[in-house]
Chain A
Amino acid sequence: MGILDPISLIADWLEGLFMGWGWPAGLVNLVMTFLGVFLVANFGMLYVIFLIWLERKLAARMQDRIGPNRVGPYGLFQTIADILKLFTKEDTTPDGADKVIFNLAPILAVVSVLMIWAVVPFAEGWIGTDLNVGVLYIVAVGSFGIVATLIAGWSSNNKFALLGAFRTVAQLVSYEVPMVLSLLVPVLLARNMGLGSIVEAQSSWYSIFFFMAPIAALIFFISSIAEVGRTPFDLLEAESEIVAGFHIEYSGAKFAMIFAAEFLHAFTISVLTITLFFGGWQGWGDQFPLVGWAWFMTKAMLAYFTVAWVRTTLPRIRIDHMLDYNWKFLTPLALAVLVVTALLDRLIIDGFGTDNTPWRPAILFAANLLIGWVTVVLLRRRAAQRPPRQVVGAPRPVARPPQPEAEPEAAGD
């Protein structure tokens, strides 16, 4: 049984070792915490290497091509080759850029994403630190990423970077509203802001918060994809439209850091989605932490696959559509879901006396379906009011290849 909890095994052994050397308890605590921090941060940064390869392979296969397959078996070492290439690039700073802030921005971007991993529950007892304000901590740390984007664009001394930074920050800031409002729903259902407690509140298969609040899960997923800046919301990095946006002037290792931060952020939101709405590390046999970790990774990779799938499937949406979608659809919907969930939860618990009945997810799910149906009806009514699209030009014949002429030479030879 002990082997299924290797982290506790190693931690206990190390602690015994340090105490045996006569170190004071405070120092032992500090060193153990530091080792935990190092483990979590390394997991994040090293896993990104695998994720970049995975994303490229997935995108390639979905686009009916092969993807990297030269460097190493199945192209697994492609990311390492790319990293080596990026590190040997020259470290240029554009003219007139504010050097300190220019170098600070990628550091802040990586820091803001790595800090989220401190509160992620990997398995029972495997969590960096179970802060009692975990959910709001995630929002707080995300705001550093927004500041990083803004100063990256400003300090580049480049019109396009500045414009891209403004638009990016407008998008990030707008999509943070439905994200925070949809984060309120699992906090409401679990009565606790700590991520460890939210996972433990989803102990049976029918009490995962996805069944109790599917619309909130979808809103969180969609607004998180927009927060990361992935397709369909990646107008601001679109090569053809605004020439890579706020990170035009970054090259080499600094660009590698921004790039890695974006990929890590995409994986982080998949992890957060499954932690908040799909039960995190809960699963069959999860009293053994290693099994819990396996469930966690499986669910997280499925969510990441969905993120990559959405990226390769959907086209980019225009910025005014994107902001309308946020303020006129996601935010009112998030508020409506919050109000309905709060009201119904109180009535259910008052009515049934306990919060552990299977009626709770059933009624809440039905209410969510009702909200969804009402939303679709309202959208259809609104679409019907819009004038039908006019066909502007006359239909033209489709271009055809030129007809082969009758060739006397070809018939003769």
Chain B
Amino acid sequence: MTPIQVLFILTSLSLLVSAFMVVTTRNLVRAALWLISSLFMVAVVFVLLDAGFLAVVQVVVYIGAIAILFIFAVMLTRKVMQDTGPQSNSQWWVAGLFSLLLFGGLSWIILGWGGAAQTVPRVTAGDLDNISDLGRALVDPAGYVVPFEVASVLLLAALIGAIVVAWDRN
């Protein structure tokens, strides 16, 4: 077992444990911190896949902005310190059944794909060019320029929409 595989197994286990703790812990701020941990483990997985740029983007955007927004949103509610009350309601068995069905379906699809048994081709030479290739593709008329500009319009719409919703003064 190569060191990379060991690292991947450890990272995936941490990711799964963090994700599990996000939904089961009672304290909301602790749940946000477990979320930060799981997002960081996703960044580590990106690094193991030779996608350094995506790893840092994951940390910058998700942990640096979205997790902060989550924590702010959690602190907007008053009962942050203690979260008493039952964790699940009376229909938990229906939810459990559906999630088992979903898990079974996804596992069947992934195992039938066959790509999970192959190794990922290593990006050896020209790893430095990945980012400039990405940049070129983003503005290439035959590439992704239209989604690029549409993304900026989408961000603008998100900004205006959030302002309209959150700002009830004027």
Measured CB to CB, the residues of A under 8 A from B are 26, 96, 98, 101, 131-133, 136-137, 139-144, 146-147, 150-151, 154, 166, 169, 173, 176, 191-194
Q: Is the CB of A101 within 8 A of B30?
A: yes
With A132-B131, A151-B33 in contact, is A146–B52 under 8 Å at CB?
no
Q: Which secondary structure dominates where chain A touches chain B?
A: helix
Q: Which of B30, B56, B67, B127 contacts A140 (CB 8 A)?
A: B56
Q: List 26 A-B contacts (CB under 8 A).
A: A26-B3, A96-B81, A98-B27, A98-B30, A101-B29, A133-B52, A136-B57, A136-B60, A137-B56, A139-B56, A139-B64, A140-B60, A140-B64, A143-B59, A143-B60, A143-B63, A146-B68, A147-B68, A147-B71, A151-B29, A154-B75, A169-B68, A173-B65, A176-B64, A192-B128, A193-B131
B132 at the interface (CB under 8 A from A): yes
Given A98-B27, A193-B131, does the pair A143, B64 have CB atoms closer than 8 Å? yes
- Chain B binding surface, main DSSP class: helix
Beta-carbon nearest neighbor of A140 in chain B? B59
Contact (Cβ within 8 A) B36 A147: yes
Chain A residues with Cβ under 8 A from B30's Cβ? 98, 101
Interface residues of B in 116-170 (CB under 8 A from A): 127-128, 131-132
Inside 8 A of B103's CB, which chain A residues have their CB? none
Q: Which residues of B6-33 have CB atoms within 8 Å of chain A's CB atoms? A: 27, 29-30, 33
Flag if B56 contacts A173 (CB, 8 Å).
no
> Which residue of B3, B67, B68 has the most chain A CB atoms within 10 A of its CB atom?
B68
Once A132-B127, A132-B131, A173-B68 are accepted as A-B contacts, the answer to whether A144 and B63 lie under 8 Å apart by CB is yes
Residues in chain B near residue A142, CB distance under 8 A: 64
Residue in contact with A191 in the complex, picked from B36, B75, B81, B132, CB distance below 8 Å: B132
Bound Cα distance from A193 to B131, whole angstroms: 9
Q: Which 3 A-B pairs have the closest CB atoms?
A: A143-B64, A140-B59, A136-B56
Contact residues, B35-93 vs A (CB, 8 A) = 36, 52-53, 56-57, 59-60, 63-65, 67-68, 71, 75, 81
A150–B68 CB distance below 8 A: yes
A174 to chain B, nearest CB (A): 12
Cα–Cα, bound, A334→B132 (Å): 23
List chain A residues, Cβ under 8 A from B65: 143, 173
Q: Which residues of chain B are near A166, meaning CB under 8 Å?
A: 75
Query: Contacts A150-B71, A151-B33, A169-B68; is A132 near B128 (CB within 8 Å)?
Result: yes
Report the Cα distance A194→B56, complex, angstroms. 13
CA distance A224 to B43 in the complex (A): 25
Q: How far is the CB of A385 from chain B (nearest CB, A)?
A: 22
* Docked complex Cα distance between A154 and B60 (Å): 22
User: In the assembled complex, how far is the CB of residue B115 from the closest CB belonging to chain A, in whole angstroms?
Assistant: 27
With both beta carbons as reference points, the residue of chain B lying nearest to A132 in the complex is identified as B128
Chain A residues in 8 Å Cβ range of B131: 132-133, 193
Query: Cβ of B63 and Cβ of A147 under 8 Å apart?
Result: yes
Which chain A residues lie closer than 8 Å to B3 at the CB level? Answer: 26
Q: Which residues of A contact B67 (CB under 8 A)?
A: 147
The CA of A150 and the CA of B128, in the complex, are separated in Å by 35
| B51 nearest CB across to chain A (Å) | 10
Which chain B residues border A151 with CB–CB below 8 Å? 29, 33, 71
What are the residues of chain A within 8 A of B36 when measuring CB–CB? Answer: 147
B143 to chain A minimum Cβ distance, whole angstroms, is 19
Bound form: Cα–Cα A26–B81 in Å: 48
Nearest CB of A to B145, in Å? 16
Query: How many angstroms from the CA of A191 to the CA of B135 in the assembled complex?
Result: 11
List, in ascending order, chain A residues with CB within 8 A of B71's CB: 147, 150-151, 154
Most buried by B among A140, A142, A146, A151: A140
Most buried by B among A137, A166, A169, A192: A137
Listed residue (B27, B57, B64) with the most chain A CB atoms within 10 angstroms of its CB: B64
Q: How far is the CB of B6 from chain A (nearest CB, A)?
A: 13
Smallest beta-carbon distance B170→chain A, Å: 17
Whole-angstrom CA separation of A176 from B3 in the bound complex: 37
A154 touches B53 (CB 8 A): no
CA distance A52 to B100 in the complex (A): 58
The CA of A144 and the CA of B68, in the complex, are separated in Å by: 10
Chain B residue at minimal CB-CB distance from A134: B56
Given contacts A98-B27, A132-B128, contact A146 B64 (CB under 8 A): yes
| Closest-CB distance, A39 to chain B (whole angstroms) | 23
* A191 to B132 Cα, complex, angstroms: 9
Question: Which residue of chain A has its CB nearest to the CB of B54?
Answer: A133
**A133-B131, A136-B57, A140-B56 known; A154-B29 Cβ under 8 A:** yes
Asked whether A132 lies within 8 Å of B52 as measured between CB atoms, the reply is yes
- Chain B hits for A192, CB < 8 A: 128
Chain A residues with CB under 8 Å of B59's CB are 140-141, 143
Q: For A136, what are the chain B residues with a Cβ–Cβ distance below 8 Å?
A: 53, 56-57, 60
User: What is the minimal beta-carbon distance from A58 to any residue of chain B, in angstroms?
Assistant: 32
CA distance A184 to B128 in the complex (A): 18
Least distance between B26 CB and chain A CB atoms (Å): 12
Enumerate chain A residues within 8 angstroms of B64, measured Cβ to Cβ.
Answer: 139-140, 142-143, 146, 176
Given contact pairs A133-B52, A150-B68, A151-B33, enumerate 7 new A-B contacts (beta carbons under 8 Å).
Answer: A133-B56, A136-B60, A140-B63, A144-B63, A146-B64, A147-B36, A154-B71
